[in-house]
Amino acid sequence: MIRLGCTLKLLLLSAWLVGQTPAETFQFGQRALQMQNFALARLAFERLLFFEQDSFAFASASQLGQIARAESKFPEAITWFGRAAILAPNDMEKAGLELQKAAVYLRMNDPMMGQALLLGLPENLPDSLLKYQAFLMGVSYFMQSDFTQSQQAFKKALSINDQAGLQKLDSLFGKLARIKHPKPNLARLLSIIIPGAGQFYAGDIKNGLNSLLLTGGFLTLGIYSMLFYTPFDAIVAIAPWFQRYYMGGYKRAGMIAADRLNQKQNQVFMQILACFNSSEPQSRQ
């Protein structure tokens, strides 16, 4: 028994000494990726891909895509997912990669491109992939402010049995429909009429006062110089400044209102995402 133990230990040691197998290399790469040591992970997966170790080539390419994604190098990630799609063993894996690509496009703030990829997927996908597709579809519609379509897509992504989740989703989208103010165009218009009014309407007191004082100041300065010097002086020296801050004021008012509106919608978006945080698409059979 002791002899056997020794032999086994030697055997293990030798197997360990001889070198790393593809599987070990893959695991090593994955651990490096988990530890966010991207150079090491890249090296491991590049090696596997270079030697094209049967199924590992595909997996390595997609992992390299994940590395690029984690490093926020999105175009590179898309290239890698494309390469992995060529190596993919079956249509399902290919569809999975398309989904990854679409997610990266969404992350790049390009919902149109992401949606194009999502719509191009085949229909006979397993349930989990369909749900992920619907989820990404919901996000892309949301990014384009198409809330009714977004609601339908998000609903598809939840499982039918999840009644509580569906109800919560409906109520959240109801909340979203009620958010209408501040309207960016109205804020612009208000600020065109009275500088600062649009900012007050959007709820930004500081910038409203600032704009009012600044344009008011330049206006008084202009009138002052017109009265005590010549109208020419007022036009040449003061009018450009007045115009700059008057126009800047109403443009900023629009931007501030848009930001506020976005912020409100963002908060609901986070709550919608939280519905999916706990649930996951059913694992594949």
For the chain, the helix, strand and coil percentages under 3-state DSSP, each to the nearest 5: 80, 0, 20
Q: Determine the size of the site formed for other proteins (CB under 8 A).
A: 82
Q: From the CB of 167, what's the least distance to other proteins, in Å?
A: 19
Under the binding rule (CB under 8 A), the answer on residue 83 touching other proteins is no
2 binds other proteins (CB under 8 A): no
Q: What distance in Å separates the CA atoms of residue 35 and residue 30, rounded to the nearest whole number?
A: 9
Angstrom distance (rounded) from CA 154 to CA 172: 11
**Pattern 157-186, binding to other proteins, x per CB under 8 A?**
x-----------------------------
CA-only gyration radius of the chain, Å:
29
Q: Which of 2, 4, 124, 180 binds other proteins (CB under 8 A)?
A: 4
Asked if 135 and 157 touch (Cβ cutoff 8 Å), the reply is: yes
Applying CB under 8 A, which of residues 26, 141, 200, 201 lies at the interface with other proteins? 26
Q: Which residue has the tokens 């949606």?
A: 115
Mark 114-153 with x for binding to other proteins (rule: CB under 8 A) and - for no binding. Answer: --------------xx--x--x---x--xx----------
Query: Within its chain, how far is the Cα of 63 from the centroid?
Result: 20
Near other proteins by CB under 8 A: residue from 73, 107, 168, 183: 107
d(CA 45, CA 47): 5
Which residue among 36, 55, 148, 185 contacts other proteins (CB under 8 A)? 55
Cβ distance 191 to 215 under 8 Å? no
* 31 is an interface residue for other proteins by CB under 8 A: no
The tokens of 167 are what? 């109800």
- Calpha distance 203→11 (Å, rounded): 74
Residue among 167 and 229 whose Cβ is closer to other proteins: 229
Report the nearest approach of other proteins to the CB of residue 163 (Å): 19
DSSP for residue 37: -
Q: Of 56-64, 159-167, 169-177, 182-190, which segment contacts other proteins by CB under 8 A?
A: 56-64
Contact set for other proteins, span 185-224 (CB under 8 A): 207, 210-211, 214
Least spacing, CB of residue 47 vs other proteins, in Å: 5
Q: Is 62 in the site for other proteins (CB under 8 A)?
A: yes
Helix (H, G, I), strand (E, B) or coil at 162: coil
Residues 6 or more apart whose CB falls under 8 angstroms from that of 271 comprise 172
Q: How far apart are CB 120 and other proteins at their closest, in Å? A: 16
| 100 near other proteins, rule: CB under 8 A | yes
